[in-house]
Structure 1
């Protein structure tokens, strides 16, 4: 019975005897009652930082949120929409910068490039140029003393590498990203075009480097509500007989995997100067310009603005080199490189063919 009462006491008063009993006992002994201070409360547990890396919700909730989101407007037809990180890839001297400036000027003016749609309002564009010098840029947009009148929404930033602090490659890349962010914020730009990604980040063939760069671009996009277009190269030794694909990006394919959209400029083997534009990846629209329906174009300068003129559609296969044509081109190229002092190994690396093929062509 006593054991039962003790347990009842502990049950009703888990911290000890009732305060009233302690007060009576103290008074009966002529002592001043001093209540025992309550124990310190346990500190509240802080939420782990990683809790906020994800935002789970029901499928119905995501549908409700999606309905409230604004419709993604076209910046350059189905190739690039507002809020996207897009990649434009092509070989050297094919016209990436020509098309990129044309797109930037179109967005700044709010005027579409025919035949592609555009339903976005005019926007302030920051064009970060790692490629052209002042005079080179000027020559593209002047003719007979008449300069092209760019809209004030078009802002070109020319790279000045001598201003970089020499504290290692990684630190210099951080400086470049920070500088771009500064001018995006300072100029209140909502569209960012980077020409080109090779200058922005070394070692792009490394998946970790590519992932880090895409994280930074995605952070920029989220912080400043940006639409971003990045120009990139294809390898010199790309097989001209094969259709252009995501595998043709110089460096890590992870860049295209993480981008929202990607498109490419190819060179036609049928006519000198003929190019074609092809969708490689898209998330915001259907693929209208795939390998069965590429957009044909040429670089022209009708007056004082160097640009791409689009002139119809065609299957990509009609513009690829045949294997016979490719082998004839190699048969000419191999002796040219050998005459310039290239070893067979260097020729193999330059043209992306085997040593055996180099040796065979040299014998011929």
Structure 2
């Protein structure tokens, strides 16, 4: 009897060793494999493509944050439009073919959305059929097993993704999904849910988030994101939008966290854009690269009238836009835009 038990245990150990040698094994909540096995299996999976330059890659959970009224939703819709058509935004990179987008819009009404995509509610911008937009069903009767609509959405999101066949999901915004996202516990639950959905459904997720009121004279850091510690731990990448002191319509984009690339768009190399609506689509237009310091509010750069006078003087001396920009410590796009606005 004892011998039989020993034989069974020995056989079980031998089977586990064979299993481990071939594919690894599951033990509790862990999947254990040799490091070489993980690498070999990873070789068979495609290399993640860029969805929005090096700021967001396929199958990542990415966070985009900024202060209010800086254009998070505008940029997110523009990114979604780009991915749905398989066309990169000028100045940015897109490596994937057209993908189906599910944009969860908890910010704008349909009329507000229409306004951003038209000229006075006429001459409407045409989106690709891959672009699906969703609003909250305000007349929904919440199932009894759920405490609130946020919990219901998190529980059903995987099924929604399967039903719509979306491979990219944009959540606008985090404040809706977790009204207390400053609290570590709420942030942790939310990010775990999104990470699980991303891995299980093989989807890329971009989550928009607000910052508490911040000082525009200081560089943007990960600490500016509400609930930053937990959110940063559970996202794969993160970038932020900052306001510019050089021009009211200017914004800069800064890379905060990355896993699939080196840190490219740091404080010495932020991406500068202008926020314009040239026809029927409000969008970010690439202007160039600059240091973050040049766009922070300071006593020297905040006096626009004084800078305009300096610019006019330098123009009278025959200086070109690039030379003037260097002398005034601003980007060339700022000079170009001010000259157009002042008609000089």
Q: Structure 1 length normalisation: TM-score?
A: 0.72
In the aligned structure 2, how far is the partner of 1:113 from the partner of 1:52?
45
Alignment partner of 2:42 out of 49, 66, 74: 66
Task: Pick the aligned partner of 2:182 from 185, 205, 215.
Answer: 205
Is residue 2:83 matched to residue 1:107? yes
Please state how far the C-alpha of 1:173 moved relative to its aligned partner.
2.0
Cα offsets for 1:59-97 (capped at 9, x unmatched): 222222232221110111101100000000011110000
Task: State the SS of the aligned residue for 1:55.
Answer: strand
On the 8 A contact 2:246/2:301 being kept in 1, the answer is no
- 1:128 is matched with 104
The answer to which of 111-120 and 85-94 deviates more is 111-120
Secondary structure at the counterpart of residue 313 of structure 1: strand
Corresponding residue number in structure 1 for 2:21: none
Is residue 153 of structure 1 aligned with residue 130 of structure 2? Answer: yes
How far does residue 216 in structure 1 lie from its aligned partner after superposition?
Answer: 0.9
- Describe the shift of the 1:181–1:318 C-alpha distance in structure 2 as closer, same or farther (beyond 3 A): same
Match of 1:185 in 2: 162
Q: Give the distance between the partners of 1:173 and 1:164, measured in 2 at CA.
A: 13
Structure 2: any 5+ residue segments left out of the alignment? Answer: 17-25, 303-344
User: Are residues 1:302 and 2:278 paired?
Assistant: yes
Partners of 2:243 and 2:250 within 8 A in 1: yes
Aligned counterpart, 2:211 = 234
- The correspondence of residues 1-364 of structure 1 with structure 2, limited to 5 A, is 51-143=27-119, 145-163=122-140, 165=142, 170-236=147-213, 238-322=214-298
Question: How far is the alpha carbon of 1:124 from its aligned partner?
Answer: 0.3
CA deviation profile, 1:13-52 (whole Å, cap 9, x unmatched): 999xxxxxxxxxxxxxxxxxxxxxxxxx99xx9x9xx824
Distance in 2 between residues matched to 1:271 and 1:169, nearest whole Å: 47
Question: How far did 1:205 drift?
Answer: 1.4
Contact 1:265 1:276 in 2 (8 A): yes
1:251 is displaced (CA, Å) by 2.7
Q: Take 1:323 and 1:164, find their aligned partners in 2: how far apart are those partners?
A: 54
Residue 347 of structure 1 is matched in structure 2 by none
Give the drift of 1:184.
1.2
Structure 2 Cα separation of the partners of residues 325 and 268 of structure 1:
10
Q: Is the 8 A contact 1:204 1:252 kept in 2?
A: no
* Residue 258 (structure 1) shift: 1.1
Q: Secondary structure of 1:146's partner?
A: coil
Q: Which moved more, 1:175-184 or 1:159-168?
A: 159-168
Q: 1:299 to 1:229 in 2, by over 3 A?
A: same
Contact 2:80 2:131 (C-alpha < 8 Å) held by counterparts: yes
Check whether the contact 2:245–2:301 (CA below 8 A) recurs between aligned residues.
Answer: no
After superposition, the Cα gap between the structure-2 partners of 1:131 and 1:67, relative to the gap in structure 1 and judged at 3 Å, is: same
Secondary structure of residue in 2 paired with 1:317: helix
Aligned-residue CA RMSD (Å)? 2.7
Count of residues in correspondence between the two structures: 285
| SS of equivalent to 1:253 | helix
For residue 208 of structure 1, report the CA deviation from its aligned partner. 1.4
TM superposition shift of 1:54 = 1.5
Q: Secondary structure at the match of 2:31?
A: coil
Residue pair 2:249, 2:276 contacting (<8 A) in 1 also: no
What SS class does the counterpart of residue 156 from structure 1 fall into? strand
**How far apart in 2 are the matches of 1:170 and 1:249?**
27
